[in-house]
Structure 1
């Protein structure tokens, strides 16, 4: 017979000998004269994860103190201050990726021990009710209050973290909402949607950011039906006021190229760089492009590396011309005159993309023209006049933008019934004209009032191509982490307050990421353990989102009996301690949540 398998009822083989049983002290304090068998234990867990880290970063940035200094609540306000409520709400937004007001109270109640310990004040869950948070948004939605907070926070961060302030960018995005129709002067209107939802109402967010970290300077809510051209001057004035200086290079797209916008920036003491594509200057742009083709000996080469593929991208740049510009302020009648440089550049990648599109257009056009020699039938017109056929062919070629490239020959074709028709007998491509067309693809024109001593032409074009920094901020604000959509608010001042609050959360993400990368570069180190698929992979460019995810799961466990409580925190690993060191946060940031007693300890078996 085989060896009999023991049953579960015979638990002697599953239980270690008494000599091997180990005990672990849990630190629960009880009186030494009490019978341990009569005690009733309570066990609670708080999933704290990245909350202590976020509170530490927010405290370092001075957000709580600045808000308390510049925001005055109404006279009946009681409990935690506005700065404290905003700090806790920021933790919820960044940790849970959820800006709903109704979800904050329960979330805080589940972590009340953590907040009370780290904030060093008796926080109540009623301090974070949806009504109180709505009042906070009303206060934060006030435009003068936002301006004071932006200036105080940004000037402090520039001084403390030694941020570069040479370049800032201006651009806008749209935020679609599902609200009902509103008044004509409302913030919510239908307009050109960058979310590809023209059926929905929207509001626009005009954002000014600071290179090279993409730190938001100001974020202004604008009515959704307004054109972008008139938004640049107010955003520029607000950003320079918040930054405390106008001696910056302002970078924007072609909508910033209006003469009045450029004149405002010159009068304010700033430099500008923008794409130049006004509809009224088509012939002027074509002239600059033709002259650039004749001056190939003076082209300068600009090479950049694609951050996604690692491919080297080549671009030719020509610092072509200088011209005088004059603008008169419409109110003060002050006259500004400056010298403007015109830069012409051609990107090989952009040119290749346009060439592929033209090749596809050429293939479709050739196929359509060859159908004109087929016999008459349903859906095919019979051309009895040569002039009509030639005019039809010329219109199709011009509509495709291939005039002079596609050549055709028409001929008279007799039919069996004794009549004749005109057909396209041959279609071919003029290779010389095609090559000339390709040479004229991919050219971009930029204008700037900087001098060659300040910025070379390749440096300016490279700076313009860093628009991805601001687009990344838009991505974080709308989809990746902060999820501003959908908006669960109706009052417009609260919508403006929510936009400012989420912009503040974006500043926390951006500045934390900048500090991490700067610290790694200064130490010559890399951060390991952020990629869950490969814990041994290291990086010198961590994202804040990955860093916050690295603090999951961390639990604060509370064991209590009859008024005696003890707290324990999940030990941090090497990656988490490395992150705290890079951010200059205390090593015991998490350990200070745990408390141990030196009195009699209740021992629990493992």
Structure 2
């Protein structure tokens, strides 16, 4: 926008015309400030190495700004970032206290960042540090961890080594999918660990690696891990007990369980009638 000034105003600004730049800020400063407070920028910079010829904007700032855009715009495409930064360049440069230009968010640079984040070793370290930093910021007392898997269908071409594969689906068996396995702090729902795997993988083998990372990041015993019947596999329950944790999950009505569960229920009813049960409760 170009504003015509009076002669008096021209004397004040020593210009014939004053150029006013308008940028739509929305909630970007709030989102970036929250991520900075969580220590996300420092954690990313700590675990993703910088190349000698890399652009000045660090991977931490790149991640924080990109995530703020994804959250506020609901758009995770790499191609949309350069145009977005062009329209928010002054605001973002002020928030980062350094120049931020569209070239910092080119497709190639963002793809390079995603390659680092998809590295299991790198991601596990970022995840663990973020958990410790976040719990310290909010002074949370973790007690119950909920573990579960979900699938996301996609109308996409299948490749032999790709993430998108056909698998057991409750949504649409005609579409391939990816699978997300996550552990979250209950009842807050704050994610503690997550794994993205190809869509044909079964849930059973995904629990132990996930639980191991939660144990490593929280460094606390006596937690209650809750999940569905697929978490009740003997190997998973044995791992939880050996880790000095507790579990709560239904047994699947397969094998001996389907035949023996009636006797268990009848035994419980009989003990209740004889006042031989131990009450277990928690005050709300």
Please, what TM-score do these two structures have when normalized by structure 2? Answer: 0.89
Give the corresponding residue for 2:195.
220
Contact 1:206 1:220 in 2 (8 A): yes
The residue correspondences of 1:235-250 to structure 2 (distance < 5 A) are 235-250=210-225
Distance 1:276 1:459, change over 3 A: farther
Residue 230 of structure 1, aligned match among 196, 205, 227: 205
Contact 1:164 1:211 in 2 (8 A): no
Please tell me whether Structure 1 or Structure 2 has the larger radius of gyration of its CA atoms. 1
Give the corresponding residue for 1:190.
166
**1:44 pairs with 2:25:** no
The residue correspondences of 1:260-409 to structure 2 (distance < 5 A) are 260-280=235-255, 281-294=257-270, 297=273
**1:131 pairs with 2:108:** yes
- Residues in 2 aligned to 1:298 and 1:92: alpha-carbon distance in whole angstroms: 62
Contact 1:151 1:244 in 2 (8 A): no
Name the stretch that deviates more: 268-277 or 290-299: 290-299
Contact 2:38 2:137 in 1 (8 A): no
Give the corresponding residue for 1:103.
80
- 5+ residue gaps, structure 1, are 1-27, 300-318, 321-451, 463-606
- Residues in 2 aligned to 1:68 and 1:124: alpha-carbon distance in whole angstroms: 19
**1:54 pairs with 2:31:** yes
- Residues in 2 aligned to 1:33 and 1:136: alpha-carbon distance in whole angstroms: 43
Aligned-residue RMSD, C-alpha: 2.6
- Residues in 1 aligned to 2:272 and 2:250: alpha-carbon distance in whole angstroms: 21
- Residues in 1 aligned to 2:189 and 2:94: alpha-carbon distance in whole angstroms: 33
Per-residue deviation at 1:188? 2.4
Task: Give the length in aligned residue pairs.
Answer: 277
The residue correspondences of 1:551-566 to structure 2 (distance < 5 A) are none
Per-residue deviation at 1:31? 2.6
- Residues in 2 aligned to 1:151 and 1:41: alpha-carbon distance in whole angstroms: 50
Per-residue deviation at 1:46? 0.7
Per-residue deviation at 1:295? 5.3
Give the corresponding residue for 2:5.
none
Distance 1:459 1:41, change over 3 A: same
Per-residue deviation at 1:264? 0.9
Distance 1:29 1:92, change over 3 A: farther
Residue 457 of structure 1, aligned match among 249, 273, 280: 280
Distance 1:163 1:116, change over 3 A: same
Per-residue deviation at 1:297? 4.5
- 5+ residue gaps, structure 2, are 1-7
Q: Which structure is higher in RCO with an 8 Å CA cutoff and minimum separation 6?
A: 1
CA deviation vs aligned residue, 1:89-138 (integer Å, no higher than 9, x gap):
01101111111111111111111111111211111111111221111101
The residue correspondences of 1:82-97 to structure 2 (distance < 5 A) are 82-97=59-74
CA deviation vs aligned residue, 1:195-215 (integer Å, no higher than 9, x gap):
x11111112111011123111
1:31 aligned counterpart, secondary structure? helix
CA deviation vs aligned residue, 1:534-580 (integer Å, no higher than 9, x gap):
xxxxxxxxxxxxxxxxxxxxxxxxxxxxxxxxxxxxxxxxxxxxxxx
2:239 aligned counterpart, secondary structure? helix
1:45 aligned counterpart, secondary structure? coil
- Residues in 1 aligned to 2:54 and 2:173: alpha-carbon distance in whole angstroms: 42
Distance 1:33 1:115, change over 3 A: closer
More strand by share: 1
CA deviation vs aligned residue, 1:221-263 (integer Å, no higher than 9, x gap):
1221121122111111122112233431111111111111111
Give the corresponding residue for 1:205.
180
CA deviation vs aligned residue, 1:283-336 (integer Å, no higher than 9, x gap):
21112233444556479xxxxxxxxxxxxxxxxxxx96xxxxxxxxxxxxxxxx
Give the corresponding residue for 2:3.
none
1:47 aligned counterpart, secondary structure? coil
- Residues in 1 aligned to 2:13 and 2:153: alpha-carbon distance in whole angstroms: 67
